[in-house]
């Protein structure tokens, strides 16, 4: 088990592989799954669309480019966000592409196109859009978060590790980034660091079903397993909307042996 100090030092080393990527053996820690989170960190308008869509925490404060407020751009952007709210990925993609035709360096459109490609598991396309966004805003947390998710879903653990560490450095109170960093560390076998990050995620967002679920899996992987802690977090995850998992339930039974834990989490009712 890697100590807290050791894994924090290793974060710096992980940043050195951002442009190289890397692989890693998949651990049993629960996966977060594909999530589409419309990005609103750079729009120059403050009015919300008629249809509410989920957002990734507070706006990230990246200055808008001079043309971000043009009427045509804003009209297409609003239509794209409305399409995302309806889960119409094809329609949203078409509108974001129209935004890019009007303004090739529109950061929000690039990041959303990256998220849509990630949702469709078009990894090359996702990285193309997100790396264009990264060049425009190298210190934007949402860009790094999206790059990390794309890397994590491809099991490129070193890149994901570095990307989520960058998000946490830029936005220390970003609960989802702490959860995803914890998940990545768990898959790498760095359980002490993973537990710390997942607990930090819950300090910031106590009702995060994904963090509770992942902590339950992590505690069952301990030697010996911490079944009471696992039980507490597993049933809290169920209360918050995660679907039951037979392998975890069996592992929590008295005198049960921890064997085949889930490779991926059941998706919670609400995506965080």
Q: Which domains does the chain have, with CATH numbers?
A: 27-154 (1.25.40.10)
Eight-state DSSP code of residue 20:
T
CA dist 232 and 228 (Å) reads: 6
Per-residue confidence (pLDDT) for residue 110, from 0 to 100 = 95
Q: 133: phi > 0 → left, psi -120 to 50 → alpha, else beta; which?
A: alpha
CA 57/CA 14 separation, integer angstroms: 25
Say what the pLDDT of residue 173 is: 96
Closest to 160 in 3D by CA, of 175, 179, 174: 179
- The string of DSSP letters for 163-219 reads HHHHHHHH-TT-HHHHHHHHHHHHHTT-HHHHHHHHHHHHHH-TT-HHHHHHHHHHH
Blockwise average pLDDT, block size 10, the chain, 272 residues:
42 34 37 36 26 30 46 91 92 95 93 94 95 95 95 95 97 96 93 95 96 94 90 96 92 66 42 30
Q: For residues 236 and 89, what is the distance between their CA atoms, to the nearest angstrom?
A: 32
pLDDT of 20 reads 27
Residue 237 pLDDT: 95
Predicted pLDDT of residue 253: 82
Say which residues have a Cβ less than 8 Å from residue 234's Cβ, sequence separation at least 6. Answer: 212, 213, 216, 245, 248, 249, 252
Plot region of 149 (φ>0 → left; ψ -120 to 50 → alpha; else → beta): alpha
pLDDT at 70: 84
């Amino acid at each position: 088990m890697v100590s807290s100090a050791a894994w924090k030092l290793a974060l710096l080393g992980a940043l050195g592989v951002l442009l190289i990527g890397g692989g890693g053996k998949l651990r049993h820690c629960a996966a977060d799954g594909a999530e589409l989170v419309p990005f609103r960190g750079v729009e120059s308008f403050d009015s919300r669309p008629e249809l509410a869509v989920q957002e990734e925490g507070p706006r990230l404060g990246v200055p808008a480019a001079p043309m971000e407020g043009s009427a045509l751009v804003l009209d297409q952007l609003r239509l794209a966000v409305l399409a995302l709210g309806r889960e119409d990925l094809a329609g949203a993609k078409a509108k974001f592409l129209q935004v890019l035709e009007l303004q090739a360096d529109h950061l929000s459109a690039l990041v959303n196109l990256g998220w849509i490609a990630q949702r469709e598991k078009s990894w090359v396309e996702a990285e193309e859009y997100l790396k264009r966004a990264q060049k425009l805003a190298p210190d934007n947390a949402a860009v790094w978060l999206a790059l990390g998710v794309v890397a994590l879903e491809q099991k490129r653990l070193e890149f994901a590790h570095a990307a989520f560490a960058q998000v946490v450095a830029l936005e220390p109170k970003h609960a989802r980034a702490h959860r995803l960093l914890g998940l990545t560390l768990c898959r790498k076998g760095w359980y002490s660091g993973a537990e710390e990050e997942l607990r930090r995620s819950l300090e910031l967002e106590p009702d995060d079903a994904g963090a509770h679920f992942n902590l339950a899996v992590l505690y069952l992987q301990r030697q010996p397993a911490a079944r009471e802690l696992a039980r507490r977090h597993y049933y809290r995850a169920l209360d918050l909307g995660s679907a039951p998992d037979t392998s975890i339930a069996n592992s929590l039974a008295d005198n049960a042996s921890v064997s085949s834990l889930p490779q991926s989490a059941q998706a919670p009712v609400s995506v965080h």
